[in-house]
Structures are given as C-alpha cells and as structure tokens.
Structure 1
C-alpha cells in the first residue's frame, strides 16, 4: 500500500498521480529544477498562483518529502528557502518524459 496526501492507495502510480495532478504542483516542482528559491521568487515564476495556494501546495510537497524548506536566521530574521529533496529531483526525468509524451500525443498549446 502507498500513502500520498494522507490517502492510502493500492497502486504506486495512482498515489504519485494524486500528488502530481493537483493544481500547480507540477509547475512548482518544474520551476525549482535543482535550485533553491525563496517564496517570492517562486511565486513570480508561477503566473496565476495565489500566495495561499502556493503555500498550501508547498506544504503538501514538504509533507510528502518532495520539497525541503530550509530556514536560516539572518540579521534576526528567519529566511526560508525551498528546494527539491533527493526524491523530488528524481521526479524531474519522469516529468520530462511526461512532457515529451504529452507533446507527441496531446493537442496542447502550452508547455510547462
């Protein structure tokens, strides 16, 4: 059995699809693409995603071990940086294959 987003699945593909299929999740993962980003930087990269939604989706990704939130104290202020965990980085080639398949097989005008 597989647990994703506090739901138990029998199939690992269904569990991963539950996470990747949520609005903005794929865009968040793709934009991070092996770099550390502050919340504001990430929000600027994802046009149309509200602060509230971005925060919720980042929390989901952190809970599932896909994203890490690194906090550092700097001049009496906490600075928060987000980046892909090792398992999050392993999703990038999968997403690249999904993009290729979509480009070859779906009638889409937009790319991530």
Structure 2
C-alpha cells in the first residue's frame, strides 16, 4: 500500500520522475537516467531503498537484478507538494507561486497558450 503521507526529498523526487517516465527500472537504469557526475551508484541505490522503505516504490526481487516501480501517483504527489509549497513558501497564495514560476523560467509559446486556456476554464 502506497504511503499517503508523501514527503519525498529532492533527490527522491528525481528518482520518482525517472520511474514515472520509465515505468519499471533497475537502480543502474535510474542512475544512468539521472546522469549525475557528482553522485555515485551507491547513493542512487540508497535513495531507492529509502523510497521502498517509505512505501513510495515497490521492488521486484524475483530476478538477480531488482526492478523498481513507483507506486505513488505522480499527479497526487505533485499536487501534494505544490499545495505544501504554496502554504509554506507563498503564505497560501497560489497567484504568488505562479507569478514567481513564470518570472523565473522562460515559458514556451505553447506553454503560455496552455496556461491561458487553463485560466479561461477557471472563470
């Protein structure tokens, strides 16, 4: 059963992103996808073991090489973390979060169109 109290660290979130994209993966595949020069294989392994202990990933041990799969829902995890950030960093203001995000990152024309359509649907 997936852990309902979702609190992944930044490093754990990076691993979850890879698992959500790939579906199933070995530690080696996740480590290679992360492509971090400053982090070793054993660090990736340890983080994946912690994610397993937290109930966020499942591990298939039927083969020599263990296969991991995220069991927390990507959409629910992202919503939980965004709500937590809005409350703790932006004093409950979703608008401040959005303005900060758009002010700090160059959005493509397609992304801006998508944001406009979403905002129109809210009115």
TM range (shorter): 0.5 to 0.7
Paired with 2:77 and 2:98, the residues of 1 have a C-alpha distance of 12
Q: CA deviation at 1:50?
A: 1.7
- Match in the other structure for 1:71: 61
Root mean square deviation of aligned Cα: 2.8
Paired with 2:98 and 2:45, the residues of 1 have a C-alpha distance of 30
- Match in the other structure for 1:84: 70
Number of aligned residue pairs: give it.
84
Distance 1:59 1:96, change over 3 A: same
Unaligned runs of 5+ in 2: 83-93, 107-123
Paired with 2:100 and 2:43, the residues of 1 have a C-alpha distance of 30
Q: CA deviation at 1:108?
A: 4.6
Q: CA deviation at 1:104?
A: 5.1
- TM-score (ref. length: structure 1): 0.59
Q: Give matches, 1:1-112, under 5 Å.
A: 16=6, 19-20=7-8, 22-33=9-20, 35-48=23-36, 49-73=39-63, 78-85=64-71, 88=72, 90=73, 92-97=74-79, 98=82, 105-106=100-101, 107-108=104-105
Larger strand fraction of residues: 1
Q: CA deviation at 1:96?
A: 4.6
Unaligned runs of 5+ in 1: 5-11
